[in-house]
Amino acid sequence: MKKKLRKNMLIPYIGSGLILLAFILDSPVNIFNGYKVILLSQSILLTDYLLIAGIGATLLNSGLLILVSYLIIKKLDLRVTGPLFAGILTIGGFAFFGKNPLNVATVWLGIILYTRYKKISLRSVTLTFLFSSGIASVVSYIMFGLNIELFYSIPLGLLAGIISGFILVELSPHVIKFHNGYDLYNVGFASGILVLIYYSIFKAFGLSTNITLNVSSEYSYTMFIIVTVLCLVLIISGYIMNGFNIDNYFDRILSKSGRAISDFTRKHSEGITLFNTGLTGLLVTLIVFFLGIDFSGPVVGALFTVIGFSAFGKHIRNVFPSLFGVYLASLIINADITVVNIALAFIFASTLAPLTGEYGIIVGIVAGMLHLPLSLNMNELLGGLLLYSNGFSAAFVAVVMQVIITSLERDGRLWHFTKQRKM
């Protein structure tokens, strides 16, 4: 049993649990009707599935995508490592606001075609495969948002999705050098480059998107409880799997900078990794709750991403400075942290955790402060067509911070009082 849990990292139980909850909290008729709405929506930022389709259909969507992703991993004979755990939870999280089987499968098809064309196994590109669906909004927008006949829009949407998937496999490793692994949402950055091109073409044809910030607050407490319980389950399961202790927490997790590629599950550390995902997720969830932010679809999705990436770089030592930086910036520019796009920048700033891990708290805070204005601007630039817009903007923050640090650093120290970096 323990061995099986180590291999699947509770993923099938999380997916099944969400589906079960969907049918407990909503009627089958509501779920069916809501799911139709999800599949036919434009799905650009911010399309809160909780708002347009209700809680049942949204939980079903998330659970289904998690289970489908897990089955693909199983079919490829892979165990759920830290990166794959992050990839699956990211899909499950964004299934609250933008991803659905229709638009995700289209991008996946592009990647499968790429592997056939290059005669390689899908196993070797699984990570990009899972994260690629951040560009899925483009597919739904072309299919259902361009106001042209479905006869034309559906093939066009399919084509855009397939081309995107095909290109992303090469683009993702190519652009990781840009930020040197300090932006954990690397595929978000790669996808952003593609979306920038797509949106520029749309604009050249006089087409534009309507970015909305309408989100649901109706299910806020229910979703808070669901996320909290999920984190507690992860903490307890991790504690048990790790032999009822957390003695190796510092050595295996907290001592790491978190810079990509940090797979916390290596060296048989699945238990302590699960503990970290739950603890980091729980602390961020509680902060979000006490700041008075509603647990809307996008906010829940962002929290799922934090939980997922806590197996792939994030932990309680490196996550909070950049979040605090965003909070400080919001106070300076007088922005309301409870407004959903500010709240998302706050939670997703955790993608810059490796900067804190490598260079310290002050760098993390400054990075977070830079992240807020940049991420707000990116939505305009990308027309809301990129679900990972925070990942896109964070790459620029990571680069700028690295250049500043490299310029100031002398003898491996940033300032005279800082610790000399390990070389």
Partner 1 sequence: MALHETKKNVKIIDEMLFYFVEKGFIDVTIDCHFNKVETIIEFTVFDNERLLDECLKNDIYVERDAEVEEYGYELMGESDTASELQLVGMLIDSIDIIRNNDIIKVVLKRNK
Site residues (CB under 8 A) for partner 1? 78, 81, 83-84, 118, 120-121, 123-128, 169, 172-174, 176-177, 180-181, 186, 257, 259-263, 266-267, 358, 421-423
By C-beta, is 190 or 369 nearer to partner 1?
Answer: 190
Task: State the minimum distance, in angstroms, from the CB of residue 26 to partner 1.
Answer: 35
By C-beta, is 194 or 215 nearer to partner 1?
Answer: 194
By C-beta, is 96 or 129 nearer to partner 1?
Answer: 129
By C-beta, is 99 or 259 nearer to partner 1?
Answer: 259
> What sections of 246-360 are H helices per DSSP?
249, 270-290, 297-309, 320-332, 340-348, 353-359
Main-chain dihedrals φ then ψ at residue 362, nearest 5 degrees: -60, -45
CB atoms within 10 A of CB 245: 11
By C-beta, is 84 or 158 nearer to partner 1?
Answer: 84
Residue environment code for 106-121, b if the CB has 16+ CB neighbours within 10 A, otherwise e: bbbebbbebbeeeeee
Main-chain dihedrals φ then ψ at residue 321, nearest 5 degrees: -55, -45
Which residue bears the tokens 């810059």? 352
Task: State the minimum distance, in angstroms, from the CB of residue 173 to partner 1.
Answer: 5
**For residues 394 and 305, what is the distance between their CA atoms, to the nearest angstrom?**
15
Distance of CA 394 to the CA centre of its chain: 13
Contact 48, 215 (CB under 8 A): yes
By C-beta, is 18 or 135 nearer to partner 1?
Answer: 135
Main-chain dihedrals φ then ψ at residue 413, nearest 5 degrees: -120, 140
Task: State the minimum distance, in angstroms, from the CB of residue 129 to partner 1.
Answer: 9
Contact 95, 58 (CB under 8 A): yes
Task: State the minimum distance, in angstroms, from the CB of residue 287 to partner 1.
Answer: 28
By C-beta, is 181 or 321 nearer to partner 1?
Answer: 181
Within 213-350, strands assigned E span none
**How does DSSP assign 277-303, residue by residue?**
HHHHHHHHHHHHHHTT----HHHHHHH
By C-beta, is 292 or 412 nearer to partner 1?
Answer: 412
By C-beta, is 48 or 358 nearer to partner 1?
Answer: 358
By C-beta, is 262 or 296 nearer to partner 1?
Answer: 262
- Burial of 338 from C-beta contacts in 10 A (0-12 / 13-18 / 19+): middle
Task: State the minimum distance, in angstroms, from the CB of residue 411 to partner 1.
Answer: 12
By C-beta, is 48 or 263 nearer to partner 1?
Answer: 263
Residue 35 vs residues 60, 185, 222, 245: alpha-carbon distances, Å: 8, 28, 19, 42
Please, what is the angle between helix 389-408 and helix 361-382, to 10°?
Answer: 140
Residue 238, amino acid: G
Task: State the minimum distance, in angstroms, from the CB of residue 123 to partner 1.
Answer: 4
**What's the longest Cα–Cα distance across the chain?**
66
Task: State the minimum distance, in angstroms, from the CB of residue 124 to partner 1.
Answer: 4
Residue 264, amino acid: F
**For residues 114 and 292, what is the distance between their CA atoms, to the nearest angstrom?**
45
Contact 275, 68 (CB under 8 A): no
Task: State the minimum distance, in angstroms, from the CB of residue 126 to partner 1.
Answer: 4
Please, which residues bridge with residue 410 across strands?
Answer: 413
DSSP state of 248: T
Task: State the minimum distance, in angstroms, from the CB of residue 180 to partner 1.
Answer: 6
Task: State the minimum distance, in angstroms, from the CB of residue 253 to partner 1.
Answer: 14
Q: Which of 190, 370, 356, 390 is nearest to 258 (CA)?
A: 356
Task: State the minimum distance, in angstroms, from the CB of residue 386 to partner 1.
Answer: 19
